[in-house]
Structures are given as structure tokens and as C-alpha cells.
Structure 1
Amino acid sequence: MPKVNVDKLDDDKKLMIIRKAVEKYGLSYVSQHLGVNRSTVNRYLNRRIQTISDEVVEKAAELLTIEELSDIIYGLRTVEVDPTTAISVIIKAKKDEGFRNFFLTLLWQELGGYIKEPSNSYIVSKEDIELFEKLVRNEKSKLTAQERINYLKRALADLNYELTPTKLKEYILDLSSESKGRAEHTAKALKLFIKEVIKPKSPRIARELYDSFEIPKTKPNHKPINLTLDTVKSIFDNIEELGAKAFFLILAETGLRVGEILSLKIDQIDLKHRIIKIMKESETKRAYISFLHEKSAAWLRDVYLPYREEFIKKYESSLRKLAAANPEQGIDIESWKAKLFPFREDSLRVEIKKAMRKTLGKEFRLYDMRAFFTSYMIKQKVPGTIVNALQGRMSPQQFKIMEENYFVISEIELRDWYNKYAPHLL
């Protein structure tokens, strides 16, 4: 399929395509590529030949990039392409094999660097989980089957039901730093899920997901990067996209887990009282509340939230149409609208990693920001019990013992520790 449908172009646009090709590659090369002599191309350019065959224009278009063709054909109108148009293209690609092959080829040629991570992404459905439960109950003992199911469900919830090589690798490393036993059981469950459920559907993605992490057997040897507050501030300043900037701000100033912040709903953040209500409790971790500095809360209220609202307004209609066209995907519009960060995680990561490279010339794990918060607080002589309470690092049992036998950690006391010693980027 040619890059453009030339039979819908007027003579001026056809001529502009040939002229741009000549400007780019020279008369001799273009005439050879078109299969005509130099004088004929000159006659095209001088309008001595009024009618240019579609075949010639198609060959000339092959020499130009999508951006160059877009400038010629649409000019400034390219900015008017809205999400609805983009979704229409996707739906057509799903239904029309010829168009799909053409569309995907252009995507890889022009946007390959941007779509590498999403192309390795797998969205876990309810049916996938049900299939996994059925398989393990048939093949494993009752106790082992239930164990695998419980670890898988917990991991999928933490990962927001989207698996990518980067997320899986960092997630298992994160678990290993807190509980090697839980990390091992979780890794086994995920490996089995990928092998039995994802591989039959998408072998390529399954292979990349499966190979992205190991089942922990020994103490992890990863050492978090040593970050100063000035370095973290520089990374923050270099993040251009506001969604990623707000996400990094909360990540750095609270030391919470990446998954916890991504899972936050808009009603879990109280900017007036500067409280983040995590309210999450499991067998190995307790993270129930965190805080924000005054300037950060004001920035989120005045800068980020208006940006978030505009983002939702811009894409809600299109997402509803996508959900209607693909009911099997179970797209929950209201849940998406309730998210504090209604963006794709990979997009946030790309923007933050770009700022890391600009600041340091290299990347590091987002989870290392948790280690940064811990080390920063400890250097400020904040007791480890307070740091653990703020970051949800202690088990419910440990927390209960500390409450009953040592001191009562009130919201006011925790806020005081946070206000005095937690890192701030603004």
C-alpha cells in the first residue's frame, strides 16, 4: 500500500511532492527513482507537463517522511487530528488487514522508539485470572493451588493488571528488598501465569515477560543509587510533562511505593489538610497515611489538578467510544476518571527516565526513590519506627505491638515528623 492515496490529491499537491523530493535528494537521484529522465522531471517542475501520473507521484512520495508528506497534504491542519479520529484509524486497522499492515509498518518506522514499551505490555483480564485458577486447581494440590492464586492476585493488583518487562523486573526486586520469601512465591506464581495463560495467546510478549525477572533465591545484590536532594530537585525540574512531574513529586516527597501512588484515587488526597490516605494493609506491609508539604499541595491544586481535568475532558469521549467498540476489554470509564493519575504508567516512566538521563546521563529504578526517602530521613535523625510508619514498611502485627507497648502514633505526631524532616522539591 502506498504512503498516500494520490488519486485524491490535486495537481498542486502532486507537484509539491515531486518538488520536495528533488529538494531533498537532487534531480538525478529522483529521476532515476521515478524511472523517467531528468528533462521530464524538469518539465514537471516547470509545469510544462500539466498531468502527472499517480504512479510517478507514489514513487516520489516514497522518498519523503510522514511529516514531510503531512506538511504538504495537510499543512497546519494536522493539529486538528483528535482522539476520535485516532480511534477510528485503530478500529479500521483491526477490521482491514491490508490497512492494518500498512498502518503498523508506518508506526514502527516513525514511532518505533515510543511504542517499544507498550508493545511489550499485556493487560490481564478477568477471564485470564479465571483460566489460571482453573488450571492450577486441576494440576496442583489444593494448598499449593490456593497459594499460587493468592500470590498472583496480590501481584496483579499491585501492578494494576498491566504487565511489562520493566514493571515485572522492578516489582520482584522491590519485593526482594522487603521479603525474599514473598518475592520467591510471587515470582513463581507470575512465571506460571505467563507460561500457562499469556504464552498461548501471545508467545512473543510472553517470552519477554518471562525472561524479564528471575525467581529470587539469594539476597538481591542491587544497590540503590546514592541520590542527593539537589539531584532529585534537578530531575524534577527537568521533567516536562505535568502528569509525570506530579507523580515524581509525590514519589520523592513521600517515599511510597510506585504501585501505591499509581493506585491512588482522587478522593484519597486531601489537599486542604495535606493528607494522602493510602489505607492499604496486607500481611507484609501497612501503609495507611502520608502527607504533603504546603508548597507541594498548593502546586498540585493550582497546577496539576487543572491539567488532569483537561486531560480527562479531552479523552473521555474517545475512551467511551473505544469501550463501546471493544466491550470484551471491560474498560471501566468511571474508575479511570477517579484515578489521581489517569495516564499510562509507561508514559510517566518515559518522561521521568528522560529527565534522569538529562540530569545524570543515566537511568535508575523508580523504586530507588523509596530508598532515597529512607536514607534522607535517617540522616535527619528521624527514628526508624517513624520512617517505617510513614512508608508502610512494617507489618500490621509490628505496628500493633509498637502502638500498644511503646507509644501511640497519632496523625498529628506523624505530620510533625514529616513537616520537619521529609524532603521537599518546591
Structure 2
Amino acid sequence: MIDVSSLTEDQKIKIVEAVLQKGISYEELGIDRVTWWRYKNKKRKIPNEIAKKAAEYLTPDELLQLTAGVDTSKIGINEAIGVIVKATKDPDFRELFLSMLQRSLGEFIKAASYSYPVTSEDLQTFKKLLEKKKAKHTFEDHWRYLNRVLKDNNYVVSLEKIKDYLLEQEEESVHRARKMAIVLKLFIKEIVKPKDPILAQILYYSFSIPQPRTKYKPSILSIDFLKRIFNEIQGIGAKTYFLLASETGLRTGELFHLTIDQIDLKHKTIRLMKENETKRAYITFLHKETAKWIEANYLPYREEYTRRFWGGPRALGQDVEKWRMKFFPMNEDKMRAEIKTAMQKVGKVFRLYDLRAFWASYMIKQGVSPMIVNILQGRTSPGQFRILQEHYLPFSEEELREIYEKYAPKLLS
């Protein structure tokens, strides 16, 4: 059930005490009242065999509660892999491990269980299927759009991410979003369904194919409500992401793909360059309080995170240096789950995409020109921005910064 040799003396005492409180007699544990008094007052150490016998009277949930204080400072990726290997081979350990996971990480497991990681084998199988069943033009169209979707989503089809992604694409081009949704549904039907029918059904019906006349209506949000959610988010990574999404109005994909050198905290600037055919924000800004908060809270956390967990990407065959350059190297599904948990505590769950709509409406209601909003949210490409700046736009970069600082939403004020 549990390796009692790794427990502290206080944890062993808690286990024996909990069992005695259940009505189990001293004799059944192989001790007497005087011996228990010595154990409880640390006059004598509890032998491992006594602790093990006591642990057998407790459920996995009870054991988890009593041993939750295990020191995790020295636990890294190698220990995590070792736990997984042991769980695959030891049925008793597996039962305890899965119970602990469900109790402590239920929401995160749920988020991960609704995701499908795409393999190179999946892509080759789908490519052959398209070549066989589709005309040349349709094949090239489907293949190009599928690769674009998968690349933008790190080759994972996720219940939460794909909805936001298609909404962001629809904002730019309904035609492109429609093409992407069609090929994605086909991929789920032909590749995911044979491997995992239940997950395929969940993913397939989680999004619809965009139509020219339909328009998504985002949730109505307020600054005070967003502040409450921000304060409820537990993870520093998820908290930082939510802060940036609320105060910049950038696309969810843009934020999750930020690199460390794209954010200049000294000058309170975020610069994103154009990628592929999608329009990308050229420049946006940070409030002074936000830059200070990130520097004091997030950067130390991020540094420790990359130091401890770089072995994970390496074990998965990923480019470790590229992973280290990510501004958010944490698992995206986990961050989304943490934000969703905070939303549930506050009493309203909405799409992360809605923060983008909130930001735009917040700025416009205060009298900011829609053209400025479009520039700051990336609805003009870098090339178009330069043309506007050189010939039509009466604002310099510093003047755009002043507009941002004066009117953009603030969660830390």
C-alpha cells in the first residue's frame, strides 16, 4: 500500500492514532497502551512493521490526508517516471496512486483526458487516406490546413484549446476557420475514433463548423469580476497568463506561444511578429504594476520550474532549448484547468477567448479609437502597421503606450 520507511515519525504517529480512533485495538496492532504512549510522546520510534500494519486499516484517501506533508523539494522528473513505472507493475501501489491522483488532481486529469496527442504515424495515416479519397486540390487544401491547426496547437487536439483557436481564426477569416474545422472533424473521425471512440465523440461535437451568418457572443465581464478570478487562481503560471490575457486582449494562442525575449519588462513592451498568413499583433504594452509583479513573482517561479522540469521535454524528445525559451513552459491544459477552477469558485465559467472581446469593448467604451484597438490587438499586420505609421497614423509608439497606460484594464490597481 505505502512505503512506510519514507514516512516521518509524525506521519507514522498520525496513521496509528487514526487507526486507534477507528476502534482498532492495541492488540490488533501488536502493541499495548504503554507502548503507544511512548510512541506518541516520541520516547520511542514506531517500527516500520507497526506503521505498515496500521496503514492496512486505512483507505487510500485517508492515507493521502495523513501523509500529504511529504517533502516535495527533492522530487523531480526521474522520481515521477519511477512512480509511473511502479504503478504499471504493482496493482496495490497502482490503486493507491490513482486514488491520490483523482483526489488531488481530478480537474487536471479531466482536462488531460479530453486531449489527443497527435503522432507522426497519425499524420502519415491521414495523409494516405486523403490522397486515396480526395481530389488533388482538396487533398492539398485539407493537408495544409490540418498541419497549420496542429502546429499552432503543439500537435495536441484539446477540448478547451480547439474551441478558442477556431474562434480566434473566425475573427480573422470565417472561410479559413471553416476549412480548419472541416478537416479537423475529418481527422477526429478517421484517426482518433478508431483508437478512442469516447474521446473522439467528445472532441467531434465540442465545436461546430463556422457559418458566414453565425457569430459567437462572448460573455459579459467586468474588471471587478476578473480581479476576483485572478485572486482565486492558485498557480503562479496560470495567474500570470490570466493577468496578461485580461490586460492585453491578445489571442490565447499568442500568449501561450510567447518567448522570453518577446517580453521586455524594463520597457513594459510585448512584441509579436507576423507568422504565416495569420495576422499577429505588432506591439502592445504592460502596466507598470504588472511588469513589477511579473518580475517579482513569476520570473523566479519560471526559473525554478525550468531548472527542475527540463528533463520532461527531453524525455519526450522535444527541443529542450526551445522549451526553455517559452515564456509559459508549463502545461497549457493544466493552466487552463487552474483558471477554470478559479472561475467556478467565483461563480461563472467563460471562454478565455472572451477576455479578448472584453478588452476591446472596455477600451472602446472609454473613447479609444477602434483603429488603435485593432493595432494593439493585432488586427493589423506589422507591414500594415508601418504603412499606417508612416503615412496615416498620427500616433508614435510612445503615444500608443500612453493610450494603453491610460485606458487599458488593470487588475493590480
Question: Smaller-chain TM-score range?
Answer: 0.7 to 0.9
- 1:342: how far off? 0.9
- 1:17: how far off? 5.0
Give the equivalent residue in structure 1 for 2:41. Answer: none
Give the equivalent residue in structure 2 for 1:226. Answer: 220
Q: Structure 2 CA distance, aligned partners of 1:55 and 1:374?
A: 60
Which residue of 75, 86, 109 maps to 1:115?
109
Give the equivalent residue in structure 1 for 2:286. Answer: 292
CA contact (8 A) 2:249 2:359 kept: yes
Give the equivalent residue in structure 2 for 1:140. Answer: 134
Unmatched runs of 5 consecutive residues or more in structure 1: 31-37
2:400 paired with 1:407 = no
1:12-161 matched pairs, under 5 angstroms: 20-23=18-21, 25=22, 27=23, 41=28, 46=33, 59-62=56-59, 65-68=62-65, 70=67, 77-79=70-72, 82-83=75-76, 84-94=78-88, 96=89, 98=91, 101-102=94-95, 103-104=97-98, 107-108=101-102, 111-161=105-155
- 1:402: how far off? 5.3
Amino acid at match of 1:356: M
Amino acid at match of 1:119: S
1:24-423 matched pairs, under 5 angstroms: 25=22, 27=23, 41=28, 46=33, 59-62=56-59, 65-68=62-65, 70=67, 77-79=70-72, 82-83=75-76, 84-94=78-88, 96=89, 98=91, 101-102=94-95, 103-104=97-98, 107-108=101-102, 111-217=105-211, 219-220=213-214, 222-316=216-310, 318-319=311-312, 323-324=314-315, 329-359=316-346, 361-394=347-380, 406-407=392-393, 410-423=396-409
- 1:216: how far off? 2.5
Q: Structure 2 CA distance, aligned partners of 1:418 and 1:302?
A: 22
Q: Structure 1 CA distance, aligned partners of 2:29 and 2:309?
A: 47
Moved more, 247-256 or 271-280: 271-280
Compared CA separation, residues 231 and 125, structure 1 to 2 (3 A) = same
Give the equivalent residue in structure 2 for 1:34. Answer: none
Compared CA separation, residues 153 and 5, structure 1 to 2 (3 A) = same
Look up the SS of the partner of 2:375 in the other structure: helix
Compared CA separation, residues 412 and 125, structure 1 to 2 (3 A) = farther
- Higher RCO, 1 vs 2 (CA within 8 Å, ≥6 residues apart): 2
Compared CA separation, residues 61 and 421, structure 1 to 2 (3 A) = closer
Compared CA separation, residues 43 and 146, structure 1 to 2 (3 A) = closer
Q: Structure 2 CA distance, aligned partners of 1:141 and 1:400?
A: 41
Compared CA separation, residues 396 and 310, structure 1 to 2 (3 A) = closer
- 1:178: how far off? 4.1
Q: Structure 2 CA distance, aligned partners of 1:53 and 1:423?
A: 59
Compared CA separation, residues 4 and 180, structure 1 to 2 (3 A) = same
Compared CA separation, residues 59 and 336, structure 1 to 2 (3 A) = same
Give the equivalent residue in structure 2 for 1:35. Answer: none
Look up the SS of the partner of 1:168 in the other structure: helix
Look up the SS of the partner of 2:67 in the other structure: helix
Q: TM-score by structure 2 length?
A: 0.82
1:322-362 superposed Cα distances (whole Å, 9 cap, x missing partner)? x34xxxx4222212111001111122222222333333x11
CA contact (8 A) 1:21 1:63 kept: no
Q: Percent identity?
A: 45
Amino acid at match of 2:408: A
CA contact (8 A) 2:108 2:334 kept: no
1:69-110 superposed Cα distances (whole Å, 9 cap, x missing partner)? 637xxxx5444560232221123445x374785344553466
Unmatched runs of 5 consecutive residues or more in structure 2: 36-46
Q: Structure 1 CA distance, aligned partners of 2:93 and 2:128?
A: 35
Compared CA separation, residues 233 and 98, structure 1 to 2 (3 A) = closer
Compared CA separation, residues 99 and 132, structure 1 to 2 (3 A) = farther
Compared CA separation, residues 415 and 59, structure 1 to 2 (3 A) = closer
Give the equivalent residue in structure 1 for 2:44. Answer: none
RMSD of Structure 2 on Structure 1 (CA) = 3.7
Q: Structure 2 CA distance, aligned partners of 1:418 and 1:214?
A: 35
- Size of the aligned set, in residue pairs, is 400
- 1:291: how far off? 1.5
Look up the SS of the partner of 1:286 in the other structure: coil
- 1:275: how far off? 1.8
Compared CA separation, residues 415 and 43, structure 1 to 2 (3 A) = closer
CA contact (8 A) 1:244 1:352 kept: yes
Q: TM-score by structure 1 length?
A: 0.80
